[in-house]
């Protein structure tokens, strides 16, 4: 096992009816800014529940945070918070709203160019105003971690950042808030959580069996519960299990003491930045091709994954690895997320721009061995067509 630090101070309030707990979890004296997205939280009644719980408080609202939240939009919230001297943020939505809220929390009192908050990968963040979240979309894990991704539309950059100052103080996870989500969002959420685990699991062995069992536990549960959650919009238990899987997939537990990859995410981010694909779509496209391309470097873990997640234990090693990759792809397809660039109207002619962006952003030593250069990225992208 590798040495590691683990620290996750976010309080989770999980279950039906928990939004009412905002009345006691948001500090009484706080001047609150509620941030949300495109209006689904209005349509499904979640925002009303939030307003009811905070009735009588000093609360303002900022809506319109888009998927892949943009610097340009978020700076309007920063300016509102500064102008009105708001001192507590409450994100109500999915990963994009929570990620955006992390940016706002860090930017409000940031001196200098606020884009530096993200551009420097979070390293320049020295403080943030406190915030909580009401999660409505199981996917990114942002509700219980210190990372975020924001997009600079003008620069066409999708930039991750993280800082110990941007853990949510609390997150409310009420599975009933997901009942009205469109199937596409559920499918995307399953792929996102699955890939988060794979980025921390499918590397090379360091004799850390507990982390491996936890990772496999999340994958197996997503495979078992994900299709139920997709098929039955009001299946509380399936939605609850998916929600908790997505949170546990990226709260530090499965990644503690093991190598991490994240190359699929880094290449996927550029596909979203350039061509607007959903985040999870890019992961579903890149991951199977990355598994195939890294077959040798990941051999031991690919065989473990084949055996313990897909029950492929017998026969030729390469056939087991191929089987595990094809089952991964088939699982993503089965929940409605296509796994080929061509499914989204992209082809060979779109790859040079992606590779140029990776080069410009110096993303040329990716993966757990820092050896995924532009040549490997090209190979992965070509195999993704």
Which range binds a copy of itself by CB under 8 A, 127-135, 248-256, 277-285, 319-327?
248-256
Q: Are 62 and 33 in contact (CB under 8 A)?
A: yes
Phi, psi (deg, nearest 5) at residue 46: -65, -45
Told to check if 261 binds a copy of itself by CB under 8 A, we report no
Residues 78-107 that bind a copy of itself (CB under 8 A): none
From residue 10 to residue 29, what is the string marking binding to a copy of itself with x (rule CB under 8 A)?
A: xxxxxxxxx-----------
Q: Which residues pair with 88 in a beta bridge?
A: 32
Q: How far is the CB of 240 from a copy of itself (least distance, A)?
A: 5
Q: Which is nearer to a copy of itself, 216 or 278 (CB)?
A: 216
Told to check if 6 binds a copy of itself by CB under 8 A, we report yes
Q: Are 101 and 89 in contact (CB under 8 A)?
A: yes
Residue among 75, 220, 353, 364 that touches a copy of itself (CB under 8 A) = 220
Q: How far is the CB of 201 from a copy of itself (least distance, A)?
A: 12
CA R_g for the chain: 20
Q: How far is the CB of 164 from a copy of itself (least distance, A)?
A: 10
Q: How far is the CB of 68 from a copy of itself (least distance, A)?
A: 28
Give the CA diameter of the chain: 67
Q: How far is the CB of 5 from a copy of itself (least distance, A)?
A: 6
Q: Which is nearer to a copy of itself, 182 or 209 (CB)?
A: 209
Residues 147-186 that bind a copy of itself (CB under 8 A): none
Residue among 182, 209, 276, 352 that touches a copy of itself (CB under 8 A) = 209
> DSSP labels for 273-340?
HHH---HHHHHHHHHHHHHHHTTTTTHHHHHHHHHHHH---SS-HHHHHHHHHHHHHHHHHHTT----
Q: How far is the CB of 145 from a copy of itself (least distance, A)?
A: 14
Which range binds a copy of itself by CB under 8 A, 27-35, 67-75, 215-223, 274-282?
215-223
Q: Are 254 and 211 in contact (CB under 8 A)?
A: yes
Q: How far is the CB of 193 from a copy of itself (least distance, A)?
A: 11
Residue among 72, 84, 113, 224 that touches a copy of itself (CB under 8 A) = 224
C-alpha–C-alpha distance, residues 141 and 199, integer Å: 14
Q: Which is nearer to a copy of itself, 13 or 286 (CB)?
A: 13
Torsion of the alpha carbons at 309, 314, 318 and 320, rounded to the nearest 10? -30
Distances (CA, A) of 249 to 8, 88, 218, 366: 13, 27, 7, 21
Q: How far is the CB of 169 from a copy of itself (least distance, A)?
A: 10
Q: Are 308 and 216 in contact (CB under 8 A)?
A: yes
Residue among 256, 307, 383, 385 that touches a copy of itself (CB under 8 A) = 256
Residue among 44, 109, 162, 221 that touches a copy of itself (CB under 8 A) = 221
Residues 6+ apart with CB under 8 A from 64: 37, 38, 73
Residue among 32, 90, 253, 283 that touches a copy of itself (CB under 8 A) = 253
Q: How far is the CB of 214 from a copy of itself (least distance, A)?
A: 5
Residue 249: closest CA among 226, 231, 232:
226
Told to check if 214 binds a copy of itself by CB under 8 A, we report yes
Query: Residue 133 gets which letter from DSSP?
Result: E
Q: Is 337 left (phi over 0), alpha (psi -120 to 50) or beta?
A: beta
Told to check if 58 binds a copy of itself by CB under 8 A, we report no
Residue 251 three-state SS: coil
C-alpha–C-alpha distance, residues 58 and 175, integer Å: 27
Told to check if 204 binds a copy of itself by CB under 8 A, we report no
Q: Which is nearer to a copy of itself, 212 or 270 (CB)?
A: 212
Told to check if 218 binds a copy of itself by CB under 8 A, we report yes
Residues that bind a copy of itself (CB under 8 A): 1-18, 207-210, 213-214, 216-218, 220-221, 224-225, 237, 240-241, 244-245, 248, 253, 256-257
């Amino acid at each position: 096992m590798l040495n590691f630090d683990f620290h996750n101070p976010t309080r989770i309030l999980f279950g039906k009816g928990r939004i009412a707990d905002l009345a006691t979890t948001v500090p009484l004296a706080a001047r609150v800014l509620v941030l949300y997205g495109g209006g689904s939280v209005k349509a499904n009644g979640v925002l009303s529940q939030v307003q009811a719980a905070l009735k009588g408080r000093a609360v303002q609202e900022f809506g319109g945070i888009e998927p892949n939240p943009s610097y340009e939009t978020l700076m309007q919230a920063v300016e509102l918070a500064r102008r009105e001297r708001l001192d507590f943020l409450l994100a109500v939505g999915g990963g994009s709203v929570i990620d955006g809220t992390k940016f706002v929390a860090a930017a409000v009192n940031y001196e200098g160019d606020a884009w530096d908050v993200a551009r420097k990968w979070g390293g320049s963040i020295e403080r943030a105003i406190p915030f909580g979240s009401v999660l409505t979309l199981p996917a990114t894990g942002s509700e219980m971690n210190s990372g975020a991704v924001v997009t600079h539309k003008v620069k066409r950059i999708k930039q991750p950042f993280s800082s110990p100052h941007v853990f949510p103080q609390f997150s409310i996870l009420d599975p009933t808030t997901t009942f009205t989500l469109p199937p596409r969002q559920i499918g995307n959420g399953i792929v996102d959580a699955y890939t988060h685990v794979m980025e921390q699991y499918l590397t090379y062995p360091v004799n850390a069996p507990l982390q491996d069992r936890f990772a496999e536990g999340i994958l197996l549960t997503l495979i078992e519960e994900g299709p139920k959650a997709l098929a039955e919009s009001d299946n509380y238990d399936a939605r609850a299990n998916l929600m908790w899987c997505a949170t546990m997939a990226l709260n530090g537990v499965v990644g503690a003491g093991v190598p991490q990859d994240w190359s699929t995410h880094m290449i996927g981010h550029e596909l979203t930045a350039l061509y607007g694909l959903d985040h999870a779509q890019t992961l579903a496209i890149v991951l199977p091709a990355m598994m195939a391309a890294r077959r040798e470097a990941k051999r031991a873990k690919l065989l473990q994954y084949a055996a313990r997640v897909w029950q492929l234990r017998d026969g030729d090693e390469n056939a087991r690895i191929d089987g595990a990759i094809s089952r991964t792809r088939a699982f993503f397809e089965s929940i409605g997320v296509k796994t080929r660039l061509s499914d989204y109207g992209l082809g060979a002619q779109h790859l040079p721009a992606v590779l140029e962006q990776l080069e410009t952003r110096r993303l040329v030593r990716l993966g757990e061995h820092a050896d995924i250069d532009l040549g490997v990225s090209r190979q992965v992208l070509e195999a993704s067509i």
